[in-house]
Structure 1
């Protein structure tokens, strides 16, 4: 569907789905589970869109966030999701909050992202994470197969995905999303989510 058909509130929901999708892909990457290429790319592609002129440029095809929307639907419906995924979601939202309150790190993050080449690799994105987010005083303890997490390529991939999740958490807040909405407005969020999934023909 054309991205122009989405309402601002639907972009807000899509941003939250981006956070959830990043967390889910981190969990899969860390444990050696299959990772959907489309879901993986959608998370990383958003990192370098801080100068985008529209939400459509940030998200691209909304259907690319099917994994995040489905996982969010499960979480709001009391269907069990991977405990680590749930933990990563909360960490990403908290790191975004800390980033908003730290002007120096926010400025440095913007500078580093602006300097990235078009063909940046996960190693480049992982370096940006280490130089900025890692200094916010709250490290994300990623659990999985120790042998995998000790591989430089996997560690860089995880950091890059976390950076993508923080990008979406920042955008979610920017669009009016708040953690308390997930508690006090849970049923409303779930209904809006189901409507968006139907609109995107993701059922």
Structure 2
């Protein structure tokens, strides 16, 4: 039961990052607290449990709700795009696992950005630019690259572009965590009702959301 709880939380981290990518690409902004949760997960590399990665179970409420909506009966048009991002992030995790040199490069880049956080806020433009560049130089070199759809006004804005790349980095970080906890594509394909049930259980019991 605890293992499944951890798997679901990590998957919620992937979904939350994907949802934020979509929102920034299309609207130019998103919840600052949700962005902070995703960015924080990049730096939490030695947690006691999955909840610690995000600063608390309820910090990924949005991701849990997206799991419920995407896998449930209330699918919306925009959910398809989020699902495509999630699938791509999970695929990139598999590619990344075969590239130890890139993993080392990411680890070094995260430590560099961690030093910047000591002087700026965690979502300061300097930090986001550093993490965005790290994504571009590492994960973005893997195939296939994630193509983000949205309003060109936002996609061409340097700050928005860095946020999107940083959130994609956070999404891959959560995908790695999901795999480490025992997550698999088979679960997503053949046990969707169980995935929905687990997400709803966490929402109800831990976050008191109906």
Same fold (TM over 0.5): yes
Give the paired residue count: 198
Greater shift, 180-189 or 12-21, is seen at 180-189
The answer to whether residue 179 in structure 2 is matched with residue 173 in structure 1 is yes
The answer to whether residue 31 in structure 2 is matched with residue 36 in structure 1 is yes
SS of residue matched to 2:185: coil
Distance in 1 of aligned mates of 2:61 and 2:47: 22
The answer to whether residue 97 in structure 2 is matched with residue 100 in structure 1 is yes
Structure 2 counterpart of 1:3: none
Regions of 4+ moved over 6 Å: none
What is the Cα-based RMSD across aligned positions, in Å? 1.7
Distance in 1 of aligned mates of 2:28 and 2:71: 23
The answer to whether residue 49 in structure 2 is matched with residue 49 in structure 1 is no
Greater shift, 148-157 or 51-60, is seen at 51-60
Give the CA deviation at 1:80: 1.6
Unaligned runs of 5+ in 2: none
Distance in 1 of aligned mates of 2:48 and 2:15: 24
The answer to whether residue 83 in structure 2 is matched with residue 86 in structure 1 is yes
CA contact (8 A) 2:17 2:171 kept: yes
The answer to whether residue 116 in structure 2 is matched with residue 109 in structure 1 is no
CA contact (8 A) 1:49 1:58 kept: yes
Give the CA deviation at 1:34: 5.2
- TM-score, normalised via structure 1 length: 0.91
